[in-house]
Structure 1
Amino acid sequence: MTLATAPRLRIALIAPARYPIREPYAGGLEAFCHTLVRAVRALGHTVDLYAAAGSQGHVRAHELPGVSWARDPLASSDTAYPPGARAAEDAAFHRLARHLEGAGYDIVHNNSLTPVLFEYRLPLLTTLHTPALPEMQAAISAAGARAGRFTAVSASTAAEWVLPRPATVIPNGVDTAHWHPGPGGEAAVWFGRIVPEKGLHLAMDACRQAGIPLLFAGRVGDHRYFSTEIVPRMTGQAATWVGELDHPALQSLVSRCRVCLVTPRWEEPFGLVAFEAMACGTPVAAFRRGGLGELLTTAPAALAAPDDVSSLAAAVHVAAGIDRAVVRDWVERHHSLTEVARRYAELYSEVPTR
């Protein structure tokens, strides 16, 4: 069956509940949901986005509450909840699931991290964006075959979970029309959530050792980490924070840099920022970890031993010498958003018949 003859489907795409799906994106998962909705719609399918309050283009009648740290901003975290927020999130997911049971969707594409949806009878396709989460794993195991089908953003991530049937591995894609090549420059760049598990402080140390100034952009997701590990390293012109940027500003910044550092301190499931940088022609120096290390093994990139600043500094120099055109070409051939959307559309047509 070709895309031209494939049936047009009604799809409910459920985003993670913590942050709105809008620019500047809170992280790679939020960016993935937004770009995939656009790409699948471009294939002719109807896609309704269910997401946190404050999102753009979502179904407002059934929006999720999100997480607000307005009462105690210095305690903010990307993994914890302020008092009462977790209960409110669970209740919202139960209401959403009951709505979806009677809404007649052909497929419910779940990108959230909630265990709630597996308690209901839904035509589920769940994309695994993280290593196994205990509550979600327990819900999947309890649901068995009723849990539906699964995809994972890397083989490393798929191997972390115990599933009723093997996950289909579909690495994330990059909108190569947006993330387009630039001239490069002298500085290195780091961008993403500023939280301990993303390892910005190690990127700062490696660039100082390599003798290359670092520009970094992103949302502060852990204020304690930022004040104790990041601010003290911002001495002289060695490292400069340019704030939280939307995608056009990020593209402009990244495309004008010499090399991009990606420094996960956990088993990074995918590492979208690496592929966005490479789409700009900017070579990547990264820790060899999780799905990121798996997917960059054959890429024109420089991999370093995890958590090793000297190894990373050496990788920065190696990456800086990689041809920018070769880097861009590799991403276009292996990680285009168009191809990712096509693969998901094929899976969508299978799920309702299973």
Structure 2
Amino acid sequence: MSPTRGTRRIALIAPARYPIREPYAGGMEAFCHTLVRAVRDMGHTVDLFAARGSQGHVTDFELPGVDWADLPLAASDTGYPPGAREAEDAAFRALLQRLSAGGYDIIHNNSLTPHLFHPTAELPLMTTLHTPALADMQEAIAGAGEQAGRFAAVSATTAADWVLPTPATVIPNGVDTIRWQPGPGGQHAVWFGRIVPEKGLHLAMDACRRVGIPLVFAGRVGDHHYFSTHIVPRMTGQAATWVGALDHKALKSLVGRSRVCVVTPRWEEPFGLVAFEAMAAGTPVAAFRRGGLGEILSGAPACLAEPDDVDSLAAAVLAAADLDRGLVREWVTRHHSLSEVARRYLGFYREVVER
């Protein structure tokens, strides 16, 4: 890739909870890592501020992350062990001071902290909104007003959920279609992602069992209570098999050898990166028509089901299994390649700098 209109020095701030490395904890972590790589490949300098244990980040200033080592069964993707939230808040306040010293052409915030929005901070700040509105972050943005900077959102659905000083620019996420190569398909369905209630794995298990297609699922357990009460009881016979959290090489192989990918958000999914990764492997998607995922897949070669409806999802799984893998791959390459997303962000950075 070639540089785009001059070289810039960029600070990219990741979400603080998990390291930015493979296997990715979730879609936000995958987005940050792959975007950093793509923008660096275009010739720009990117300092990644992320949790300790990340790859390719600034090592002399690390965010603390969340360590559940002493309370493994209490671990969740939304809560904090004692003292962790306070440590995270202090780290972001210190990061704001460091960034205020200058030196960056653009500061690209992907975190969920309110502490980077300050009415007196004059920063070249832009924030990508990856989630529906969060109360403390929304309050901080309102308090900062124009000093909150500019905003991008991963879907129009997500953009509409926030009240912002200036409208958000919608830049859907992208997939590294060089790394995600077409696979041969197979006989089983696949589900992958964080194993938490809002991702609805148990509904994917029910739908696949209903149509007699075995399901292989991969991912990190983000809610142990949900896993033990809703997932383990459904793992009977050969109907569903858990292969754990896989690195990218193993995950791409699994997805590429799958007949269909099932995506089951039970919340207003802002984007749904797993669907687009599966499509880059040529694996057709059956998904709930919900949030940004339903919005963006509405014109895609994918099969959408009514939210939370197992019968509708089962029908979508059967229909998706017959889609042409080449057409699926071609659509995502044309509309959601990582290189195109990186170019759009570089254009947006330029707008922020020249404002």
The answer to whether the superposition gives a TM-score over 0.5 is yes
Cα distance in structure 1, aligned partners of 2:205 and 2:214: 9
Q: What amino acid does structure 1 have at the position aligned with 2:15? A: P
Cα distance in structure 1, aligned partners of 2:48 and 2:256: 30
Name the counterpart of 1:288: 289
Cα contact 1:53–1:66 (8 A) shared by 2: yes
Cα contact 2:173–2:341 (8 A) shared by 1: yes
Name the counterpart of 1:76: 75
Cα distance in structure 2, aligned partners of 1:44 and 1:178: 20
Q: Residues 30-65 of structure 1: CA distance to partner in whole angstroms, max 9, x if unpaired?
A: 000000000011111110000001101111111100
Question: Does residue 141 in structure 1 map to residue 172 in structure 2?
Answer: no
Name the counterpart of 2:133: 132
Cα contact 1:111–1:127 (8 A) shared by 2: yes
Deviation at 1:349, TM superposition (A): 1.4
Q: Where do residues 240-279 of structure 1 align in structure 2 (5 Å cutoff)?
A: 240-279=241-280
Cα distance in structure 2, aligned partners of 1:305 and 1:237: 27
Q: Where do residues 22-171 of structure 1 align in structure 2 (5 Å cutoff)?
A: 22-119=21-118, 120-171=121-172
Q: Where do residues 294-313 of structure 1 align in structure 2 (5 Å cutoff)?
A: 294-313=295-314
Cα distance in structure 2, aligned partners of 1:127 and 1:121: 18
Cα distance in structure 2, aligned partners of 1:278 and 1:92: 38
Cα contact 1:281–1:328 (8 A) shared by 2: yes
Cα distance in structure 2, aligned partners of 1:41 and 1:98: 25
Cα contact 2:3–2:44 (8 A) shared by 1: no
Cα distance in structure 2, aligned partners of 1:175 and 1:104: 30
Q: What amino acid does structure 1 have at the position aligned with 2:106? A: I
Deviation at 1:4, TM superposition (A): 5.5
Cα contact 1:7–1:349 (8 A) shared by 2: no
Cα distance in structure 2, aligned partners of 1:138 and 1:217: 36
Unaligned runs of 5+ in 2: none
Q: Residues 209-262 of structure 1: CA distance to partner in whole angstroms, max 9, x if unpaired?
A: 011000000000000100000000000000000110011111000000000000
Deviation at 1:334, TM superposition (A): 0.2
Q: For 2:237, what is the secondary structure of its paired residue?
A: coil
Q: For 2:352, what is the secondary structure of its paired residue?
A: helix
Cα distance in structure 1, aligned partners of 2:334 and 2:116: 35
Q: For 1:118, what is the secondary structure of its paired residue?
A: coil
Cα contact 2:284–2:321 (8 A) shared by 1: yes
Q: For 1:112, what is the secondary structure of its paired residue?
A: coil
Q: What amino acid does structure 2 have at the position aligned with 1:48? A: D
Cα contact 2:286–2:317 (8 A) shared by 1: yes
Cα distance in structure 2, aligned partners of 1:90 and 1:149: 22
Q: Taking structure 1 as reference, are residues 219 and 181 closer, same or farther at Cα in structure 2, changes over 3 Å only?
A: same
Cα contact 1:285–1:319 (8 A) shared by 2: yes
Q: For 2:60, what is the secondary structure of its paired residue?
A: helix
Q: For 2:117, what is the secondary structure of its paired residue?
A: helix
Cα contact 1:9–1:349 (8 A) shared by 2: no
Q: What amino acid does structure 2 have at the position aligned with 1:109? A: H
Cα distance in structure 1, aligned partners of 2:327 and 2:138: 40
Deviation at 1:121, TM superposition (A): 2.6
Q: For 2:191, what is the secondary structure of its paired residue?
A: strand
In the superposition, the TM-score normalised over structure 1's length comes to 0.98
Deviation at 1:5, TM superposition (A): 6.4
Cα distance in structure 2, aligned partners of 1:287 and 1:101: 43
Cα distance in structure 2, aligned partners of 1:56 and 1:333: 29
Deviation at 1:196, TM superposition (A): 0.3
Cα distance in structure 2, aligned partners of 1:202 and 1:184: 22
Q: What amino acid does structure 1 have at the position aligned with 2:218? A: A
Name the counterpart of 2:334: 333
Q: What amino acid does structure 2 have at the position aligned with 1:254? A: V
Cα distance in structure 2, aligned partners of 1:15 and 1:210: 40
Q: For 1:236, what is the secondary structure of its paired residue?
A: coil
Unaligned runs of 5+ in 1: none
Cα distance in structure 2, aligned partners of 1:323 and 1:39: 29
Question: What is the count of residue pairs matched by the alignment?
Answer: 352
Name the counterpart of 1:8: 7
Q: Residues 170-203 of structure 1: CA distance to partner in whole angstroms, max 9, x if unpaired?
A: 0000000111101100000000000000000000
Cα distance in structure 1, aligned partners of 2:122 and 2:204: 45
Cα distance in structure 1, aligned partners of 2:351 and 2:45: 16
Cα distance in structure 1, aligned partners of 2:247 and 2:29: 13
Q: What amino acid does structure 2 have at the position aligned with 1:253? A: L
Q: Residues 118-175 of structure 1: CA distance to partner in whole angstroms, max 9, x if unpaired?
A: 0233211100000000000000011111000000000000000000011000000000
Deviation at 1:103, TM superposition (A): 3.5
Cα contact 1:206–1:309 (8 A) shared by 2: yes
Q: Please report the RMSD computed on the Cα atoms of aligned residues, expressed in angstroms.
A: 0.8
Cα distance in structure 1, aligned partners of 2:82 and 2:124: 33
Q: Taking structure 1 as reference, are residues 4 and 108 closer, same or farther at Cα in structure 2, changes over 3 Å only?
A: closer
Q: For 2:205, what is the secondary structure of its paired residue?
A: helix
